[in-house]
Amino acid sequence: MDRELALEVIRVTEAAAISSAQWMGRGKKIEADDAATSAMRLIFDSVSCKGTVVIGEGELDEAPMLYIGEEVGNGNGPEVDIAVDPLEGTNIVANGRGNAMAVLALGDRGTLLHAPDMYMKKLVVGPEAAGLVRLDDPIEKTIDIVAKMNNKRTRDVTVIIQDRERHQDIIDRVRAKGSRVKLFGDGDVGASIATSLPQTGIDLFVGTGGAPEGVISAAAIKALGGDMQARLVPDNEEEEQRCIAMGLTDPRQLLHLHDLVKGDDAIFAATGVSSGELLEGVRFLGGDLVETDSIVMRAKTRTVRYIKAHHRLQNKPHLLADDE
């Protein structure tokens, strides 16, 4: 992969974000997701790469666009694995809430874990605690390590956890330890990445969420120097067989960051749809002027770029929502 590709893919997430943001608060999550997916696929056709979607909107017979195994890009340039979530937070957009993003990750061919759409248990920390924590350790021990490495008192450690009933025990234990809990609703890509960005004040991410989102997050965490461990949580025999078919001999093995994203290079790109931990949302400034807020990271160089852009929709009619 080259540095030009890192900047080129921002156009893809920008298009998805603008298209889906036009459905903000309208109560129509399917339409919002369709808008993001259609825009992302369209712009990908002009990106200089030979891409294969390894994490996408579903299998070939389940999704009309960006399905697992689909070839994208204009056929020129490097061969890459692509993981996409055109709209991370469909319910967020439908209900007009914060923290929705259009996200994607790229890696050299064969470097991204092929993750089925199932649950994954995850633990994420920033650079200071990288290599020192374990997914299977008690949360109390992990908090002690993170506090020491981040030069914080236990009471000042902030753990971000998705607000779900399945996490109540871990929430109670973090609070009993004396640390802070920050709950979020949907959108765990932004929440997990926040651990590696000092300005967020987030020290630790823990919980069970989507496996595809875990792989996408791993590309960003690798670029930021953070650390992540994970384990797939198959719910039945069928899900276990899907893991095996995708190359995991042991579906329940402990996955380190280098298992999720192999090699020394990966690209992560995201554009905010609604404002959240990581990015501001799409802003419609009047007339046909639209502002977007994006981030792009490359693991090989550890470069992180924040990109604010103005778009004229009259020049991009393909991004306009169909109000009919």
Give the model confidence (pLDDT) of 125-147 as tens digits.
999 999 999 999 999 999 999 99
- Of 260, 276, 300, the residue that ends a domain is 260
Please tell me what DSSP assigns to residue 114: -
Annotated binding residue 119: yes
Annotated binding residue 71: no
Give the whole-number percent of the chain exceeding pLDDT 70: 95
Separation CA 283–CA 46 (nearest Å): 25
Phi, then psi, of 125 in degrees rounded to 5: -135, 165
Annotated binding residue 90: yes
Annotated binding residue 163: no
Average pLDDT over all residues of the chain: 91
Residue 210: which of 293, 36, 90, 60 has the closest Cα? 90
Annotated binding residue 31: no
Q: Which domain holds residue 64?
A: 3-110+265-319
pLDDT-based confidence at residue 59 (cuts at 50, 70, 90): low
Query: Whole-angstrom distance between the N-terminal and C-terminal Cα of the chain?
Result: 41
Task: Identify whether the C-beta of residue 161 lies closer than 8 Å to the C-beta of residue 167.
Answer: yes
Is residue 283 domain-shared with residue 246, that is, in the same domain? no
Is residue 85 domain-shared with residue 127, that is, in the same domain? no
Residue that wins the pLDDT comparison between 118 and 150:
150
Is residue 7 domain-shared with residue 69, that is, in the same domain? yes
Is residue 154 domain-shared with residue 219, that is, in the same domain? yes
For residue 117, the model assigns a pLDDT of 80
Give how far Cα 273 sits from Cα of 8, 96, 254, 295, Å.
19, 10, 33, 12
Annotated binding residue 97: no
Is residue 21 domain-shared with residue 136, that is, in the same domain? no
Annotated binding residue 88: yes
Over residues 157-179, the mean pLDDT reads 98
The residues, ordered by sequence, that sit 6+ positions from 264 with a Cβ below 8 Å of its Cβ are: 299, 300
Strand pairing class (267-272; 227-233)? unpaired
Annotated binding residue 281: no
Q: What is the CATH number of the domain that holds 153?
A: 3.40.190.90
Predicted confidence (pLDDT) at residue 55 exceeds the cutoff of 90: no
Task: Identify whether the C-beta of residue 201 lies closer than 8 Å to the C-beta of residue 106.
Answer: no
Annotated binding residue 249: no
Is residue 231 domain-shared with residue 276, that is, in the same domain? no
Separation CA 26–CA 38 (nearest Å): 19
Is residue 127 domain-shared with residue 245, that is, in the same domain? yes
pLDDT-based confidence at residue 60 (cuts at 50, 70, 90): very low
The residues, ordered by sequence, that sit 6+ positions from 262 with a Cβ below 8 Å of its Cβ are: 107, 110, 111, 112
Number of independent structural domains in the chain: 2
Task: Identify whether the C-beta of residue 21 lies closer than 8 Å to the C-beta of residue 279.
Answer: no
Kindly provide the residue ranges of all beta strands, DSSP E only, lying in the chain, ordered along the sequence. 50-55, 71-72, 79-88, 101-108, 119-125, 158-162, 180-184, 204-210, 227-233, 255-256, 267-272, 283-284, 289-298, 303-312
pLDDT-based confidence at residue 318 (cuts at 50, 70, 90): confident
pLDDT-based confidence at residue 243 (cuts at 50, 70, 90): confident
The residues, ordered by sequence, that sit 6+ positions from 165 with a Cβ below 8 Å of its Cβ are: none
Annotated binding residue 62: no
Stretch among 17-21, 40-44, 64-68, 130-134 having the lowest mean pLDDT = 64-68
Give the model confidence (pLDDT) of 259-311 as tens digits.
999 988 999 999 999 998 789 999 999 989 999 999 999 999 999 999 999 99
- Cα–chain center distance at 10: 14
Separation CA 30–CA 129 (nearest Å): 39
- Of 245, 260, 275, the residue that ends a domain is 260
Phi, then psi, of 31 in degrees rounded to 5: -65, -40
Give the model confidence (pLDDT) of 81-114 as tens digits.
999 999 999 999 999 999 899 999 999 999 999 8
Q: Is residue 324 part of a domain?
A: no
**Two tokens at 60?**
């070939």
Q: What is the CATH number of the domain that holds 35?
A: 3.30.540.10
Over residues 36-40, the mean pLDDT reads 93
